[in-house]
Amino acid sequence: MTRTTITVGLDGSPESRAAAEWAAREAGLRGLPLKILHIFEPPPVPVAQAPLLGTETSQDWAERIPLEAAEGLRLRHPGVEVITDQVTGEPAQTLAEAADAAEMLVLGSRGLGGIGGFMVGSVSLSVIAHATRPVVLVRAGEQAADEHKTDPAGIPSAATPFRPVVVGVDTGDVDETLLEFAFEAAALRGTSLRVVHGWPEPPSAFYRFYGDAELAGTLSREQATVLTEALRPWRQKFPNVDVIEASRCGSAAQVLVNAARDASLAVVGRRIRTSPLGAHVGHVTHAVLHHVVAPVAVVAHA
């Protein structure tokens, strides 16, 4: 199936409207149409039969949500083709299917406020855990200027260069799908790509034996070399992307969260697994979703 749209799930909430704005900007960067997907859930039978909230009235109201949103997006993003689609179904399953038919799926999420990241609901987690294409979560209140550096006077501006794209990698299992998405995102934004790898302390570090400093230095150089070698073909494929390598000793989740505090986009991977217990998101992705305020792209890979 040809993936030709950036699809956004819209339910009329402030977070979904922020996601739609982000998706429109991303569609503009990629030269792709934007599809607004609204899932209509029919009201329970007793409510549908009520005189003032009949099924027809509820559906008419629901149909206005994507149409009105599309009209506004066309005005604010004149170069982007905006199409709408309304379906009836179970949200998590319907959105996961929509993700697999698109270049990417964009969803909104309530922010935790202040320095927190996303309040990720069960529907979003289920979609992330089952979609085979990238899913991007956008925090409520996200503005275009948030993804850019401040101007010389320190004022937020969407006219300044983008902040860096940040991606977390596992050098023991470097995935091409993840790196290609991250490099492409940085290239489209004309910004740098910060590639982050966190590695654990050696067992002896717990006991602080003599020579730990020398061992740590050796391990640090080895890990940095592995990361450099893994990125070599990607530097050649994207010669215009300035790559910043960050190999750090510590929890992979914490290292990535710290590195993404000034990101325009944080990119994490999710391994596609089949398990009798269902799909899994992973602790690093969980940490990034809950502690990073920038939009987060979760890229599924084999």
Digit-by-digit pLDDT tens for the chain (302 residues) are 455 899 999 988 899 999 999 999 999 999 999 999 999 876 655 544 555 544 555 666 677 889 999 999 999 999 999 999 999 888 999 999 999 999 999 999 875 444 454 556 788 888 999 999 999 999 988 999 999 999 999 999 999 999 999 999 998 888 999 999 999 999 999 999 999 999 887 665 544 555 566 777 788 899 999 999 999 999 999 999 999 999 998 899 999 999 999 999 999 999 886 555 555 788 899 899 989 999 999 999 87
Amino acid 2: pLDDT: 54
Amino acid 127: pLDDT: 93
Residue 65 tokens read as 């949500």
Amino acid 115: pLDDT: 45
**What does the chain look like in DSSP terms, one character per residue?**
-----EEEE--SSHHHHHHHHHHHHHHHHHT--EEEEEEE-PPPHHHHTSSSS-HHHHHHHHHHHHHHHHHHHHHH-TTS-EEEEEEES-HHHHHHHHHHTSSEEEEEEEE-STT--EE--HHHHHHHHH-SS-EEEEETT--GGGGB---TTS---TTSPBPPEEEE--TTS--HHHHHHHHHHHHHHT--EEEEEEEPPPGGGGTT-TTHHHHHHHHHHHHHHHHHHHHHHHHHHSTTS-EEEEEEES-HHHHHHHHTTT-SEEEEEEE----TT-----HHHHHHHHH--S-EEEEEE-
pTM: 0.88
Amino acid 282: pLDDT: 83
The whole-angstrom separation of Cα 246 and Cα 196 is 5
Residue tagged 């073909």 (tokens): 233
Query: In the beta sheet, which residues pair with residue 111?
Result: 118
Residue 2 tokens read as 């040809």
